[in-house]
Amino acid sequence: RKEVEQDPGPFNVPEGATVAFNCTYSNSASQSFFWYRQDCRKEPKLLMSVYSSGNEDGRFTAQLNRASQYISLLIRDSKLSDSATYLCVADNYGQNFVFGPGTRLSVLP
Amino acid sequence: EAGVAQSPRYKIIEKRQSVAFWCNPISGHATLYWYQQILGQGPKLLIQFQNNGVVDDSQLPKDRFSAERLKGVDSTLKIQPAKLEDSAVYLCASSLAAATFSGNTIYFGEGSWLTVV
């Protein structure tokens, strides 16, 4: 079983749509979670950390469900510039970071 | 603040040849990581250094890959001999510390693109 799994995608949505990505992690000891964004042929960049109570940053909302070992990312009012691959990340016993395979999003005009 | 620097950006080699990648982390970052990212997949950790010591190299193919971080700053990753399946982006990253705590995140370099033909 992979340590971090994500929706396979790709997600093709029209501008202005709301889209949600799901992620599950297998290590119940994981404490820190993140969403990274990766543009085509670029390096991953931190989008947001994920906190237990859930957190919001503008159009982006991240939620964590420890009981189900599940993380989500919601993007409201999608923009063309949101087109990218979204990587879910969980820590590995507080030592390093495990990345999921990524979910590709294409926002269409 | 300068980011993570990597070189070369692109490299094409024939199988069985060797290649080396260099990384300079963000100043003050004690932890350095090398990730391998194959097209269409997420980054996979190859090796993690804390200062100049190895913390995790469980996924490093040690028969052909080696890495070092002398003096706890710059690092090099070497592949010898290369195989076709080594074609990937090699991402160097750094963070303040190994232990995860609130606010500790990884910052990536632009990557070194390797094509093995």
**pLDDT, tens digit (0-9, with 9 covering 90-100), for B32-60:** 999 999 999 999 999 999 988 999 999 99
Please give the Cα distance from A31 to B102 (Å, whole number).
10
Task: Retrieve residue A65's tokens.
Answer: 């469900």
Please give the Cα distance from A63 to B41 (Å, whole number).
23
The verdict on B77 touching A (C-beta cutoff 8 Å) is no
Q: What are the phi and psi torsion angles at B70 (to 5°)?
A: -70, 140
Q: Is the pLDDT of residue A1 over 60?
A: no
Nearest neighbour of B100 by CB, restricted to A44, A91, A99: A91
pLDDT digits (tens, 9 = 90+) for A39-74: 999 999 999 989 887 899 999 999 999 999 999 999
Q: What are the phi and psi torsion angles at B86 (to 5°)?
A: -80, -5
User: What was the pLDDT predicted at A93?
Assistant: 78
CB A74 within 8 A of CB A68: no
A21-25, B8-12, B48-52: least confident range: B48-52
Q: In this complex, do B56 and A102 lie within 8 Å of one another by their Cβ atoms?
A: no
Please name the residue of chain A whose CA is at the shortest distance from the CA of residue B101.
Answer: A32
Nearest neighbour of A44 by CB, restricted to B43, B45, B55: B43
Q: What is the mean pLDDT of residues A70-96?
A: 93
